[in-house]
């Protein structure tokens, strides 16, 4: 219980930040009494700590990655969901900062799709072996499908401009039908490998932060991508859970506008893939990124 006063104290500072300065100075007590009645049941505890994510997927099945994931899984009595970027990026699986690849999709000399789930399976197997579950991010764009593939691979390092990471993998597909088939084949493969019941417990999320550089297309092009992706997921497994758009914090004007436009389309827009009204949306995701400022030693 020694951490409880610190937590409540932090909450008090947040509340008093909205009071006049004189009131905050005169009413914040030196100590805060806390009484805990362990016989009183208020309701279930939502395990919000059971969701983790990272950028570099190829670290997943390496020694240290497996060790860390094991430790994370042991923190929770409920299954931990794990989200990683670049699950569809083209490459041989070389790990690097802000980079990852699986070579899940390439094309032969005639432009026919070639699917290789070896590395994606290694990533998901690592989760499943630890009773974890994929928060399967549908992205990013394979080189053969990118509408602007060159340059494709980046070599970012600390100190470099962050925008340098947004290369060919961040662009819309040049063929939405091929993209949809890729998503369909991926979900179908997962059902065959892990079983329908298991995959029904996962979440499929379309892209990451499409309101900034992670998506080099327009808002409408993302909506089109979402429609084709969600339809493909549901065709492969009608009971699968699919959602998005994982924008940056909705407190940002740009992110809020993007999210509103997306949600309006999901409700009343014409679906690019089916021609019907609206699009499947089982969950809504965004990053709760704050922007705290310290003023006179107070947050």
The 3 state secondary structure assigned to the chain is: CCCHHHHHHHHHHHHHCCCCHHHHHHHCCCCCCCCCCCCCCCCCCCCCCCEEEECCHHHCCCHHHHHHHHHHHCCCCCCCEEEECCCCCCCCCCCECCECCCCCEEECCCCCEEECCHHHHHHHHHHHHCCCEEEEEECCCCCCCECCCCCCCCCCCCCCCHHHHCCHHHCCECCHHHHHHHHHHHHHHHHHHHCHHHHHCCEEEECCCCCCCCCCCCHHHHHHHHHHHHHHHHHHCCCCCEEEEEECCCCCHHHHHHHHHHHHHHHHCECCCCCCECCCCCEEEECCCCCCCCECCEC
Do 8 and 112 lie in one domain? The reply is no
Which residues lie closer than 8 Å to 92 by C-beta, 6 or more apart? 101, 103
Do 133 and 14 lie in one domain? The reply is no
**100-133 pLDDT per residue, tens:** 999 999 999 999 999 999 999 999 999 999 999 9
Do 206 and 225 lie in one domain? The reply is yes
Q: What is the domain-level CATH number for residue 173?
A: 3.20.20.80
For all residues of the chain together, what is the average pLDDT?
89
**133-188 pLDDT per residue, tens:** 999 999 999 999 999 999 999 999 999 999 999 999 999 999 999 999 999 999 99
Do 12 and 156 lie in one domain? The reply is no
In a domain, 292, yes or no: no
In a domain, 53, yes or no: yes
- Phi-psi region for residue 194, left (φ > 0), alpha (ψ -120 to 50) or beta? alpha
Structural domain that includes position 13: 1-40
**Alpha carbon distance 203, 284 (integer Å):** 11
Q: What pLDDT is stored for residue 298 in this prediction? A: 67
Q: Which two tokens stand for residue 11?
A: 């909450």
In a domain, 95, yes or no: yes
Q: At what angle do helices 176-194 and 219-236 cross, to 10 degrees?
A: 40
In a domain, 191, yes or no: yes
In a domain, 92, yes or no: yes
**3-35 pLDDT per residue, tens:** 333 222 222 223 223 334 444 445 667 788 888
In a domain, 113, yes or no: yes
Do 108 and 145 lie in one domain? The reply is yes
**46-59 pLDDT per residue, tens:** 887 899 999 999 99
Do 34 and 137 lie in one domain? The reply is no
**203-247 pLDDT per residue, tens:** 999 999 999 999 999 999 999 999 999 999 999 999 999 999 999
Domain tally, the chain: 2
Do 9 and 143 lie in one domain? The reply is no
Do 18 and 76 lie in one domain? The reply is no
Do 100 and 185 lie in one domain? The reply is yes
Q: What pLDDT is stored for residue 190 in this prediction? A: 98
Once rounded to an integer, what is the mean pLDDT over residues 76-96? Answer: 96
Q: Which two tokens stand for residue 55?
A: 């950028």
Do 69 and 156 lie in one domain? The reply is yes
Do 135 and 195 lie in one domain? The reply is yes
In a domain, 19, yes or no: yes
Q: Is the pLDDT confidence value at 255 over 70?
A: yes
Q: Is the peptide bond before 59 cis (omega within 30 degrees of 0)?
A: no
In a domain, 293, yes or no: no
Angle at 170 between CA 169 and CA 172, to 5 degrees: 100
Do 203 and 163 lie in one domain? The reply is yes
């Amino acid at each position: 219980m020694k951490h409880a006063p610190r937590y409540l104290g932090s909450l008090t500072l947040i509340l008093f930040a909205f009071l006049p300065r004189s009131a905050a100075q005169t009413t914040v007590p030196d100590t805060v009494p806390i009484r805990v009645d362990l016989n009183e049941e208020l309701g279930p505890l939502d395990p919000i700590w059971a969701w983790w994510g990272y950028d570099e997927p190829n670290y997943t099945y390496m020694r240290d990655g497996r060790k860390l994931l094991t430790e994370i899984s042991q923190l929770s009595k409920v299954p931990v969901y794990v989200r990683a970027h670049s699950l569809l990026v083209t490459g041989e699986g070389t790990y690097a900062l802000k980079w990852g690849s699986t070579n899940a999709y390439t094309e032969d000399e005639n432009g026919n799709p070639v699917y290789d789930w070896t590395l994606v399976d290694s990533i998901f197997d690592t989760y499943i072996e630890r009773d974890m579950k994929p928060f399967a991010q549908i992205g990013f764009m394979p080189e053969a499908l990118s509408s602007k593939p060159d340059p494709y691979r980046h070599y970012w390092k600390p100190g470099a401009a962050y925008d340098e990471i947004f290369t060919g993998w961040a662009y819309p597909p040049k063929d939405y039908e091929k993209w949809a088939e890729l998503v369909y084949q991926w979900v179908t493969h997962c059902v065959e490998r892990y079983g329908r019941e298991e995959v029904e417990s996962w979440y499929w999320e379309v892209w990451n932060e499409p309101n900034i550089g992670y998506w080099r297309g327009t808002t409408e092009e993302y909506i089109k991508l979402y429609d084709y992706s969600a339809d493909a997921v549901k065709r492969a497994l009608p009971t699968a859970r699919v959602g998005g758009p994982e924008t940056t914090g909705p407190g940002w004007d740009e992110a809020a506008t993007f999210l509103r436009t997306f949600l309006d389309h999901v409700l009343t827009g014409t679906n690019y893939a089916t021609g019907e009204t609206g699009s499947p949306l089982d969950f809504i995701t965004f990053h709760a990124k704050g922007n705290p400022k310290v003023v006179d030693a107070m947050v």
